[in-house]
């Protein structure tokens, strides 16, 4: 091996050495996650969510009061994390800072959680390849941001799990104002008739992908849109639940 090659290999080893995206250490990283073991362990896992909508802290009830009194149009929300530090920060860097590498870390975290559920369940909704619909952005918002965060998460999931990404089935026809800062009732009104289907026939079962679920009104509206056309079961996979 020539001295030049040796030098090149040394430079590559430094450049390619995985570093934790949160604390920048180069210690033990969780394989393929770009996170060190400490940062990974400290992520805000959601362990006490509602069995239907994943709303945090429902205690022994299993199903939250809201889902009991007024069942949502989706059957099951899977969300591995609470929308808390540092997941909130990572999502903001991804969405508003255009940090697509961070988006891939988040996508892998979600996929990792989904794969672990798949191993433990026999539910066809989880074991068969899912038809996934990333929550569509209005074309104007897409143009401003340059990418759809839900679409990016779906793409990373698709590299890890067998899924069919069917973004073309649905569009966002209303450029609804941002949901943040709005109360639940306003959010609900804000997204009414926001989506339109582009095909007459819809899949029997779909999975909606979103980055963060707050009141759930966006996913509910999208689920209603598909169900009005004949979809029977809707799951939601999102990274974080507020």
Q: Are 153 and 205 in contact (CB under 8 A)?
A: no
Among 52, 109, 150, 236, binds Zn ion (CB under 5 A): 52
Q: In a 3-state reduction of DSSP, which class is residue 156?
A: helix
Q: Would you tell me the crossing angle of helices 149-160 and 100-120 to the nearest 10 degrees?
A: 50
Among 29, 30, 34, 39, binds Zn ion (CB under 5 A): 39
Contact between 23 and Zn ion (CB under 5 A)?
yes
CA gap 164, 157 in Å, rounded: 10
Contact between 219 and Zn ion (CB under 5 A)?
no
Closer CB to Zn ion, residue 132 or residue 220? 220
Could you tell me the smallest distance in angstroms from the CB atom of residue 118 to Zn ion? 22
Contact between 53 and Zn ion (CB under 5 A)?
yes
Give buried/exposed letters for 113-137 (b at 16+ CB in 10 A, else e).
bbeeeeeeeeeeebeeebbbbbbbb
Contact between 22 and Zn ion (CB under 5 A)?
yes
Contact between 50 and Zn ion (CB under 5 A)?
yes
Q: Residue 62 CB: number of other CB atoms within 10 A?
A: 13
Contact between 194 and Zn ion (CB under 5 A)?
no
Could you tell me the smallest distance in angstroms from the CB atom of residue 27 to Zn ion? 7
CA gap 48, 59 in Å, rounded: 6
- Tell me which residues in 65-104 interact with Zn ion (CB under 5 A): 67
Could you tell me the smallest distance in angstroms from the CB atom of residue 90 to Zn ion? 12
Closer CB to Zn ion, residue 64 or residue 222? 64
DSSP of 11-61: HHHHHHS---TTT---SPEETTTTEEHHHHHTS-B--S--TTT--S--GGG
Contact between 46 and Zn ion (CB under 5 A)?
no
Closer CB to Zn ion, residue 38 or residue 186? 38
Q: Residue 148 CB: number of other CB atoms within 10 A?
A: 20
Closer CB to Zn ion, residue 39 or residue 220? 39
- Stretch near Zn ion under the rule CB under 5 A, chosen from 7-15, 42-50, 84-92, 97-105: 42-50
> Any residues with CB less than 8 A from the CB of 218 and at least 6 apart, and which?
135, 179, 187, 191, 194, 210
Closer CB to Zn ion, residue 85 or residue 129? 85
- Stretch near Zn ion under the rule CB under 5 A, chosen from 58-66, 159-167, 211-219, 225-233: 58-66
Using CB under 5 A as the criterion, which residues of the chain lie in contact with Zn ion when the complex forms? 20, 22-23, 36, 39, 50, 52-53, 55, 64, 67
């Amino acid at each position: 091996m020539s001295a030049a090659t040796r030098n090149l290999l040394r430079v590559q080893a430094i450049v390619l050495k995985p570093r934790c995206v949160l604390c920048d250490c180069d210690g033990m990283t969780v394989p393929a996650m770009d996170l060190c073991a400490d940062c990974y362990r400290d992520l805000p896992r959601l362990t006490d969510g509602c069995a239907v909508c994943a709303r945090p802290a429902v205690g022994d009830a299993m199903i939250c009061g809201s889902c009991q009194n007024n069942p949502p149009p989706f059957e099951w929300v899977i969300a591995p994390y609470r929308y808390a530090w540092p997941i909130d920060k990572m999502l903001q860097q991804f969405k508003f800072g255009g940090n697509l590498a961070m988006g891939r870390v988040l996508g892998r975290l979600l996929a990792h959680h989904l794969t672990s559920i798949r191993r433990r369940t026999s539910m066809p909704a989880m074991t068969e390849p899912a038809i996934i619909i990333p929550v569509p952005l209005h074309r104007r918002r897409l143009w401003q941001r340059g990418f759809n965060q839900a679409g990016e998460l779906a793409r990373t999931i698709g590299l890890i799990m067998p899924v069919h990404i069917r973004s073309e089935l649905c569009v966002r026809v209303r450029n609804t104002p941002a949901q943040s800062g709005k109360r639940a009732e306003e959010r609900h009104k804000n997204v009414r008739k926001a989506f339109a289907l582009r095909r007459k026939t819809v899949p029997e079962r779909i999975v909606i992908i979103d980055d963060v679920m707050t009141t759930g009104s966006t996913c509910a509206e999208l689920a209603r849109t598909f169900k009005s056309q004949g979809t029977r079961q809707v799951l939601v996979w999102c990274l974080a639940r507020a």
